[in-house]
Amino acid sequence: MATITTLSQLDPNNHYSYSDYLTWEFGEWVEIIGGQCTIFSTPGKSPAHQQVVGRIGMQVTQKWPDPAYEIWSLPLPLILGYEEPEDSFNLVLPDVYVIRRESPNYLDERGWHGVPDWILEVTDARTDETDQGAKYHLYQYFGVREYWIVSPDTRQIVRYVLNPDGLYQPVAEQDRAGQLWVQALPGLALDSNELFR
C-alpha cells in the first residue's frame, strides 16, 4: 500500500481504521466515524466557537478539579473504545471531553483511548448535522454517559444522558440560577450565563 502523504490520496469510498490513520503522513486533522474519514478544519471555527470552548474548559477546570478525571479539549484526539488499532474505526476530535484516568481508558502520544463520561460539542452550521446525527449515535453506541451540544449562534444547549437501556434522553433545562448540572459528574455545574456573555 502506498504511503498517504496528502488528503487527496484518501478514497472517500474506503473504510479506514485507526491503524490506517497511524500511517498517514499529512498535517491536516481528520475524524473517522464508522470507518468514514472526514476532514476536520479548525480554521473554519468562529471566534464565538473558540470563546465558548475556552469558557467551558475554564469553568470545568475551576469548578471540578477531580484528580480521578482528565479534562481535554480540541485538538487532542479521542479513539473511542478499546479495540486493537486495526479493529478501531472511530477517531473523533470533540471540543471538550472528560474521561476517567483508569483502565481500560489510557492516554498515549496520539490521544485518549476509551470512553469519556461526558462529551461536549460546540456546533455551528458546518458541524451541526454531524454533531446531532453521526456523533450522537456514535457516543450513544459507545456508552458516553452524557452528551451536550452547544450552539453559540442560537445560544442553546441541548443535553442528553444515557438511560438504563443505553439510549440518550433529553435533560430538562437549567435551574433558576442558570446552572446546568452535569449528571454524569456529580457536583459539577456550568453557569450558562457565563458561556454566552
Residue ranges covered by each domain of the chain: 44-75+93-195
Nearest CA to 158 out of 146, 169, 149 is that of 149
pLDDT at 1: 60
C-alpha cell at 158: 441541548
- Cα–Cα distances (Å) from 185 to 98, 111, 130, in that order, read 9, 22, 25
As a CATH number, domain 44-75+93-195 is 3.90.1570.10
- Whether the ω angle into residue 75 lies within 30 degrees of 0, i.e. cis, is yes
116, 160 contact by CB (below 8 A):
no
What is the pTM for the complete model shown? 0.92
Least confident range from 19-28, 34-43, 163-172: namely 34-43
Q: Is the pLDDT of residue 43 over 60?
A: no
Cα(192)–Cα(174) distance, integer angstroms: 8
119, 94 contact by CB (below 8 A):
yes
Burial of 129 (0-12, 13-18, 19+ CB in 10 A): exposed
- Whether the ω angle into residue 104 lies within 30 degrees of 0, i.e. cis, is yes
Q: Calculate mean pLDDT across residues 29-55.
A: 82
C-alpha cell at 47: 471566534
**What is the tens place of the pLDDT at every residue in 91-123?**
999 999 999 999 999 999 889 999 999 999 999
Q: Calculate mean pLDDT across residues 143-160.
A: 93
